[in-house]
């Protein structure tokens, strides 16, 4: 592969969503030679879809708000396997990161006193769960992700960040010592394959909701970063933890934000009953997402679903009035009209729990450094590899993420990774160069597709994978179903290894990109399936009929999936925050 062009950078950031752009901004300001590599133009990244807001104790709605209350909610929401040092870092650094966004120009909605508007979201409390519902989610109407992503892109333009737009990262390049020293990338427009060398490689590739047939996620959310890391042999953490959002639009999968319920909307069954009052007497419709999603499925299973097939419930908003809807939820009005054919000012929206967010991912410390385990089970840093955003598992979300905490995670840990890399580069990073055979190893997968002549087609295999995941690894899970799912995935892997890329052309070949994405969906699906099968308890978003209870004796742990052996190990959860007392695990009620 010696004739391949190569580019060299101090740092590359794979991903131009909120987390990648926040990391890039830090590095661009430091003057390090940095590039952002993104398979879509940055403002087309999935962050643009985020609606409801960014949760942070900026003490605007409530001048007495306290980041420690936010931390408590986060740890409880995560069913106690969020790392408390990471949650502490995110919640305490959060206000700084949010104010920075405002200073950069983010058009937040405002209260009359001119401060940032905050709305109530699920799982939020005052005074460590004792003081009632909090309103802690900072919002730009219901287009917060759009406002955030565009603001970050604009500020990267201001700071002259180098962008490699519509470049597709294929695989990581490792040197003889196992350090990550860059990646192989495809310039989609021309089809050229380039070896991108770097002292620090940040995976900010976002989520992978497309492993499910029904998802709120963009079509590009195929878990490429997770796939690359797994193929490079690195472990994945808590991959069984997938969030199903209560309010995906029935039939379409598009999301309507939890902010709808924050603004006063609520769910009803076919009898018009506000059923969440039965499942969560205090928080009602603003209980944790896992709790609400399960309650909805229970209603449907017990025959109280709505519609001809009784397979969904309704989200009622009409009582809020046209004015509130127009001011606070204008995007939701648009989406409901387009995808549900209802005007929420007049009729309820049909909704159903829909795959939404990957709590698991590449395990990292608070600096974004990827970690793996040595033979004795101790954490070990992976040289050269970093991760942030949804692709990372730092872990602040544990077994269930709270609404609005992802956007905060993106900017806090994107920034932290940027700062850490700048420091490390200043001290000097010197890894062994990759040899030709190291580069060839990273090229193997791409070459396989390019040389394929005959075999099954990519869209068919993708649809099968999504059905397997949807049927066996949904809101409720059980052993025999999952066993079957794991077996089917193993067969599917064989078939994908022999699948066919029909179009071998160079210029803007989206069929090639979709083929490469299919491999990544496969990696994520299998990691999810095996982790879900092996975690024999119910916690947060992971609910099993056969193990209905939380098991703190055996499973107050992160799971760690090792790709080479396809086995599940465990990793300790951090219970030692620096400035506050540990939040001890309690029974989780809302």
Partner 1 sequence: MSTLQVSVYRYNPETDSAPYMQEFQVDTKGRDLMVLDVLHLTKEQDSSMAYRRSCREGVCGSDGMNMNGKNGLACITPLSEVVKNNKLVLRPLPGLPVIRDLVVDMGIFYKQYERIQPYLQNDTPAPAIERLQSPEDRDKLDGLYECILCACCSTSCPSFWWNPDKFVGPAGLLQSYRFLADSRDEATSERLAELEDPFSVFRCRGIMNCVAVCPKGLNPTRAIGKIREMLLANAT
Ligand X SMILES: Cc1cc2nc3c(=O)[nH]c(=O)nc-3n(C[C@H](O)[C@H](O)[C@H](O)COP(=O)(O)OP(=O)(O)OC[C@H]3O[C@@H](n4cnc5c(N)ncnc54)[C@H](O)[C@@H]3O)c2cc1C
3-state helix, strand, coil in the chain (%, to 5): 40, 20, 40
Tell me the closest approach of the beta carbon of residue 403 to ligand X, in angstroms: 6
Give CA–CA dist 28/153, Å, rounded. 12
Tell me the closest approach of the beta carbon of residue 341 to ligand X, in angstroms: 19
Q: Is 525 annotated as a binding residue?
A: no
Residue 175 site contact among partner 1, ligand X, none (CB < 5 to 8 Å, cut-off depends on kind): none
Q: Is 178 annotated as a binding residue?
A: no
Q: Is 292 annotated as a binding residue?
A: no
Q: Between residues 299 and 390, which has the closer beta carbon with respect to ligand X?
A: 390
Residue 214 has which token pair?
A: 């029904």
Q: Is 265 annotated as a binding residue?
A: no
Q: Which residues bind partner 1 (CB under 8 A)?
A: 40-41, 43-46, 48-49, 58, 95, 98-99, 102-105, 107-116, 140, 143, 146-147, 150, 154-155, 157-158, 189, 218-220, 254, 331, 334-335, 338-339, 457-459, 502-503, 505-511
Residue 566 site contact among ligand X, partner 1, none (CB < 5 to 8 Å, cut-off depends on kind): none
Q: Is 257 annotated as a binding residue?
A: yes
Q: Between residues 117 and 386, which has the closer beta carbon with respect to partner 1?
A: 117
Residue 390 site contact among ligand X, partner 1, none (CB < 5 to 8 Å, cut-off depends on kind): ligand X
Tell me the closest approach of the beta carbon of residue 259 to ligand X, in angstroms: 7
Q: Between residues 85 and 100, which has the closer beta carbon with respect to partner 1?
A: 100
Give CA–CA dist 236/360, Å, rounded. 7
Contacts for 430 with CB less than 8 Å, ≥ 6 apart: none
Q: Is 39 annotated as a binding residue?
A: yes
Of 80, 122, 91, 451, nearest in space to 259 by CA: 122
Give CA–CA dist 282/391, Å, rounded. 33
DSSP designation for 567: E
Q: Between residues 226 and 439, which has the closer beta carbon with respect to ligand X?
A: 226
Residue 368 site contact among ligand X, partner 1, none (CB < 5 to 8 Å, cut-off depends on kind): none
Give CA–CA dist 448/527, Å, rounded. 22
Q: Is 353 annotated as a binding residue?
A: no
How big is the chain by its Cα radius of gyration, in Å?
Answer: 23
- Residue 113: Cβ within 10 Å count: 6
Q: Between residues 123 and 145, which has the closer beta carbon with respect to ligand X?
A: 145
Q: Between residues 218 and 468, which has the closer beta carbon with respect to ligand X?
A: 218
Contacts for 58 with CB less than 8 Å, ≥ 6 apart: 65, 94, 95, 98, 99, 115, 116, 118, 138
Residue 111 site contact among partner 1, ligand X, none (CB < 5 to 8 Å, cut-off depends on kind): partner 1
Give CA–CA dist 292/274, Å, rounded. 12
Q: Is 289 a catalytic residue?
A: yes
Q: Is 264 annotated as a binding residue?
A: no
Q: Which helix (H) or strand (E) holds 201?
A: strand 193-203
Q: Which residues bind ligand X (CB under 6 A)?
A: 14-20, 37-40, 42, 45-47, 49-54, 144-145, 168-169, 204-207, 216-217, 224, 255, 257, 356-357, 389-391, 404-407, 410
| 253 Rama sector, left if φ>0, alpha if ψ -120 to 50, beta otherwise | left
Q: Between residues 68 and 210, which has the closer beta carbon with respect to ligand X?
A: 210
| 116 Rama sector, left if φ>0, alpha if ψ -120 to 50, beta otherwise | beta
Tell me the closest approach of the beta carbon of residue 21 to partner 1, in angstroms: 13
Sign of CA dihedral 422, 424, 427, 433: negative
Contact 494, 438 (CB under 8 A): no
**Given the residues 289, 294, 415, 571, the one annotated as active site:** 289
Contacts for 94 with CB less than 8 Å, ≥ 6 apart: 56, 57, 58, 67, 70, 408, 412
Residue 224 site contact among ligand X, partner 1, none (CB < 5 to 8 Å, cut-off depends on kind): ligand X
Residue 154 site contact among partner 1, ligand X, none (CB < 5 to 8 Å, cut-off depends on kind): partner 1
Q: Please give the annotated binding residues for substrate, written as ranges.
A: 245, 257, 356, 401
Active site residue ranges? 289
Q: Please give the annotated binding residues for FAD, written as ranges.
A: 15-20, 38-53, 224, 390, 406-407
Q: Please give the annotated binding residues, written as ranges.
A: 15-20, 38-53, 224, 245, 257, 356, 390, 401, 406-407
């Amino acid at each position: 592969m010696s004739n391949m062009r190569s580019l060299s950078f101090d740092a590359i950031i794979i991903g131009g969503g909120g987390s990648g752009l926040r990391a890039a901004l830090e590095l661009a300001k430091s003057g390090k030679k940095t590039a952002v590599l993104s398979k879509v133009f940055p403002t087309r990244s999935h962050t643009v879809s985020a609606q409801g807001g960014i949760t942070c104790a900026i003490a605007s709605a409530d001048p007495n708000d306290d980041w420690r209350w936010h931390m408590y909610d986060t740890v409880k929401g995560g069913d106690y396997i969020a790392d408390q040092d990471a949650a502490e870092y995110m919640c305490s650094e959060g206000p700084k990161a949010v104010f920075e966004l405002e200073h950069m120009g983010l058009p937040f909605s405002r209260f009359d006193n001119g401060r940032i508007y905050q709305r109530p979201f699920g799982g939020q409390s005052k005074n460590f769960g004792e003081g009632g519902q909090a309103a802690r989610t900072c919002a730009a109407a219901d287009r917060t992700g759009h406002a955030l992503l565009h603001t970050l892109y604009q500020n990267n333009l201001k700071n002259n960040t180098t962008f490699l737009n519509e470049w597709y990262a294929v695989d990581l390049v490792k040197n003889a010592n196992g350090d990550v020293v860059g990646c192989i990338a495809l310039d989609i427009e021309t089809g050229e394959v380039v070896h991108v060398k770097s002292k620090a490689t940040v995976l900010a590739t976002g989520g992978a909701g497309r492993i499910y047939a029904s998802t709120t996620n963009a079509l590009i959310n195929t878990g490429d970063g997770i796939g690359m890391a797994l193929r490079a042999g690195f472990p994945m953490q808590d991959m069984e933890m997938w969030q199903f959002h209560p309010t995906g639009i029935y039939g379409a999968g598009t999301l309507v934000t939890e902010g709808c319920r924050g603004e006063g909307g609520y769910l009803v069954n076919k009898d018009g009953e506000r059923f969440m009052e039965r499942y969560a007497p205090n928080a009602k419709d603003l209980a944790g997402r896992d709790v609400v999603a399960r309650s909805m499925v229970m209603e449907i299973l017990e025959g109280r679903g709505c519609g001809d097939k009784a397979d969904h419930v309704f989200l009622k908003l009409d009582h809020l009035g046209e004015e509130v809807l127009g001011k606070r939820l204008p995007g939701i009005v648009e989406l409901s009209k387009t995808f549900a054919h209802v005007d929420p000012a007049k009729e309820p929206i049909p909704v159903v729990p829909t795959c939404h967010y990957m709590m698991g991912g590449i395990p990292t410390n608070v600096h974004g450094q990827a970690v793996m385990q040595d033979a004795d089970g101790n954490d070990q840093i992976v040289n050269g590899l970093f991760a942030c955003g949804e692709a990372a598992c730092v872990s602040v979300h544990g077994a269930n993420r709270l609404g609005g905490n992802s956007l905060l995670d993106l900017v806090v840990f994107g920034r932290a990774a940027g700062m850490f890399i700048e420091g490390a580069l200043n001290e000097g990073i010197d890894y062994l160069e990759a040899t030709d055979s190291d580069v060839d190893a990273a090229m193997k997968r791409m070459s396989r597709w390019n040389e394929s002549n005959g075999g099954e087609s990519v869209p068919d295999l993708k649809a099968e994978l999504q059905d397997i995941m949807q049927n066996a690894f949904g809101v409720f899970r059980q052993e025999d179903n999952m066993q079957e799912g794991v077996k089917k995935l193993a067969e599917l892997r064989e078939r994908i290894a022999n699948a066919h890329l029909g179009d071998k052309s160079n210029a803007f070949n989206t069929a090639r990109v979709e083929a490469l994405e299919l491999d990544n969906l496969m990696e994520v699906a299998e990691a999810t399936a095996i982790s879900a099968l092996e975690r024999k308890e119910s916690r947060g978003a992971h609910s099993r009929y056969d193990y209905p209870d939380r098991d703190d004796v055996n499973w107050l742990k992160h799971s760690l999936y090792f790709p080479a052996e396809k086995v599940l190990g465990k990793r300790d959860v951090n219970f030692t925050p620096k400035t506050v007392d540990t939040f001890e695990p309690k029974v989780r009620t809302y």
